[in-house]
């Protein structure tokens, strides 16, 4: 069945304007490819479960409840991260995210849908508060996986997403504080000397599996604070910021994206789980690979990385785990026991 551009825009404009982009019907996705046998054993029905970075503690409950009501796991996970994207007080994603060095908020996001093996991504998009939904629109309505920059923004507007100023007054003030301290001899006066400058790599990753064992994953971010304009971290990179395989499980990350990209870490975690490792063990083993791939300039005098990285993972049968490079991390979980924060395993003690 073919869909004309006019039909496509007319069919989706109203829903997209409301911030919701539906999946294409199965007959528009084409026949499913035959499944291959998975080394990881699967014994039928599992249990609904949502895992995310700690800033998703409210979102995991939303995602879990939506799955119990019959919603697709990817749609449920995206609804969970939308809470954070639309929260102006959270400066790590979406509305209110910390800007690049020029004071412009540029957002990245990616998602994967286990049952259809489809993925979508946007990078350096501006003026759209929910890049996770735009990434899903790329997945649902184009033959592409990633759109970037002005092209991603143009696509979002064509889909009916509302363009708005994402730089809140709080984030603008933080940007001014950072800018005033760049050079002691420049013309900018110091801005509130007693305020510590924020340097964040904040992100939210969320992975969900329903009772039938179907999986969805999404990661969204405003990226590294004060970044070079156009800088892309791991969040919109399929296999780095998140990865999903409906035969095995899903994984995602937060932290230093550059370190994560070089190891294709989320993909690697899922592959370790395919080989039989549990989610926590797979995350820890991947962190070992990250350390092995770390450049000398990023190592401290003690031979340890000068950055942190966090991983979150779940399996098709409802097991979960999380691990951080350094001790002290937590991650969010929601299952039949409710939404809560769990202690993350760690590779190195602080």
Q: Is 142 a catalytic residue?
A: no
Q: What is the largest CA-CA distance in the chain?
A: 67
C-alpha 250/C-alpha 74 separation (Å) is 11
Crossing angle of helices 57-68 and 73-85, in 10° steps, is: 150
C-alpha 23/C-alpha 311 separation (Å) is 28
For 114-178, give the DSSP string. TTTTEEEEEEEE-S-S-HHHHHHHHHHH-S-SEEEHHHHHHHHHHTTPPP-----HHHHHHHHHH
Could you say which of 130, 153, 203, 219 is catalytic? 203
Angle subtended at Cα 307 by Cα 305 and Cα 311, rounded to the nearest 5 degrees? 105
**Which spans in the chain are helix H?**
5-17, 26-29, 57-68, 73-85, 131-141, 149-158, 169-180, 257-263, 265-274, 279-292
C-alpha 314/C-alpha 311 separation (Å) is 11
Displacement of CA 40 from its chain's centroid (Å)? 25
Active site residues: 203
């Amino acid at each position: 069945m073919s869909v004309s551009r006019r039909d496509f825009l007319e069919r989706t404009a109203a829903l997209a304007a409301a911030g919701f982009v539906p999946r294409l019907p199965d007959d528009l996705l084409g026949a499913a490819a035959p499944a291959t046998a998975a080394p990881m054993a699967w014994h039928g029905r599992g249990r609904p479960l949502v895992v995310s970075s700690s800033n998703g503690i409210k979102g995991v409950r939303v995602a879990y409840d939506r799955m119990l009501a019959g919603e697709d796991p990817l749609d449920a996970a995206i609804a969970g991260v939308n809470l954070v994207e639309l929260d102006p007080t959270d400066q790590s994603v979406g509305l209110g995210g910390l800007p690049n060095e020029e004071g412009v908020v540029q957002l990245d996001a990616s998602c994967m849908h286990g049952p259809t093996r489809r993925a979508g991504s946007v990078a350096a998009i501006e003026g759209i508060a929910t890049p996770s939904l735009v990434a899903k629109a790329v997945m649902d309505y184009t033959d592409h996986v990633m759109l970037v920059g002005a092209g991603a923004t143009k696509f979002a507007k064509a889909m009916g997403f509302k363009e708005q100023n994402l730089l809140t007054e709080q984030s603008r003030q933080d940007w001014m504080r950072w800018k005033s301290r760049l050079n002691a001899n420049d013309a900018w006066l110091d801005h509130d000397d007693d305020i510590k400058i924020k340097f964040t790599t904040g992100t939210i990753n969320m992975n969900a599996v329903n009772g039938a064992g179907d999986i969805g994953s999404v990661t969204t971010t405003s990226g590294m604070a004060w970044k070079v304009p156009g800088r892309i971290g791991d969040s919109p990179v399929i296999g780095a910021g998140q990865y999903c395989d409906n035969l095995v499980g899903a994984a995602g990350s937060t932290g230093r994206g550059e370190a994560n990209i070089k190891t294709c870490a989320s993909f690697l975690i899922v592959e370790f789980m395919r080989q039989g490792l549990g989610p926590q063990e797979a995350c820890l083993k991947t962190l070992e690979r990250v350390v092995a791939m770390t450049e000398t300039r990023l190592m401290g005098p003690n031979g340890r990385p000068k950055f942190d990285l966090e991983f979150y993972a779940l399996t098709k049968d409802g097991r979960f785990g999380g691990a951080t490079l350094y001790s002290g991390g937590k991650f969010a979980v929601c299952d039949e026991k409710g939404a809560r924060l769990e202690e993350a395993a760690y590779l190195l003690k602080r």
